[in-house]
Amino acid sequence: MFTSAQDYVDLFRIGHGETFNNNFEGTNSGTSIRSFEVGLTLPVVLNNNNALITGADFSVNNLQLFPEAERTSLYSTNIKLGLASTYSSTWSSTIILLPKIASDYNDISGDDFYLGGFALLKLQKKENLIYRFGVYGSQEAFGFFTTPIIGWYYLSPNKKFEMDMSLPISADLSYALGKTTIGMDYFGIGRSFNLKKENQPDTYVDLSSLEFAAYWQFNFLDKSVLLRTKLGYSSNNYEVYADGETIDLGLSAFSFGDDRTQLNPELNGGFFAKIEAIYRFNLPTKENKTPENQ
């Protein structure tokens, strides 16, 4: 089932970043935003055509949500459970459920639990080119959010230039220079976090963030261990709303039926720096496959 242009799986990823400064509109105040993410993916091969996908992701963002306020930590923990299937030499699919708990973790309850997931249909057009078509959806504190996914994976014949696109959620372009790789990436998606503070009304954070970055990557152990240093710009808009104020539908970058009242000032974007480490499992290639692992 691994006869595709993308001949690797990222099993483990960890990253830490910080914006230099994000200003609150209409004020002289601002805040830095510190982030930490760690993710684990464990595929389990069931047979020649199916693999069970398991894993988990954890992230925390720490910032001031209001001018001159104390810093707040926003946590998200999700489980990955799904199935990757191959139907023929050209068609395959991946379906993943993503249940998560997202809040400040002060008083975790069922209100902090959300269910999401995505489905992808993949077409192997050429040995080095795969097209993707799918959809992502998640129930959030502000309502239901969904977006179509259209993308492709391309690897140049000399295996130096790589494109990994899943628009409008993510994009990654890179060029290998032996022991190092240079690249650019993008990530953007809507998320939410419940807030429960003592003696205060319940609220939630609606996070819409678009991150653009250039990176320099160091490749170790035959490109199994990757270390990245990144510099980029993030919109980082953390909007606070009263609990129960929702929209009718979030569709990609659009919100329908949104008459909510934002409680905090708009937060402007800012430049950020980030360090990432990735453990990548390189799949058997056609040259070294055996009948057992084909």
Which pLDDT belongs to residue 178?
A: 87
Band of the pLDDT at 198, cuts 50, 70, 90? confident
pLDDT of residue 291: 34
CA distance 165 to 186: 9
Residue 291 inside a domain? The answer is no
Report the CATH number at residue 187.
2.40.128
Is residue 1, in this structure, part of any structural domain at all?
A: no
pTM, entire model: 0.90
Q: Is 166 within a domain? A: yes
Model pLDDT, residue 290: 36
Per the domain annotation, does 288 fall within a domain? Answer: no
**Position 287 in a domain:** no
In a domain? residue 290 = no
Task: Identify whether 19 is part of a domain.
Answer: yes
pLDDT the model gives residue 282: 81
For the chain, the C-alpha Rg in angstroms (whole number) is: 20
Asked, for residue 144, whether it belongs to a domain, the answer is yes
- What's the average model confidence in pLDDT over 152-168? 95
Whole-angstrom Cα distance, residue 208 to residue 194?
A: 15
* Average confidence score pLDDT of the chain: 91
Domain that holds residue 202: 8-282
Count of domains for the chain: 1
149-177 average pLDDT score:
95
Checking if the pLDDT of 68 tops 60, the result is: yes
Confidence class of residue 146 from pLDDT cuts 50, 70 and 90? very high
Residue range 108-130: mean pLDDT, rounded? 94
**Minimum mean pLDDT range among 59-68, 152-161, 249-258:** 249-258
Q: How far is 77 from 36, CA to CA, in rounded Å?
A: 12
Q: What mean pLDDT is predicted for residues 89-108?
A: 95
Tokens of 153: 């994976």
Find the mean pLDDT for residues 117-135: 95
CA distance 276 to 265: 31
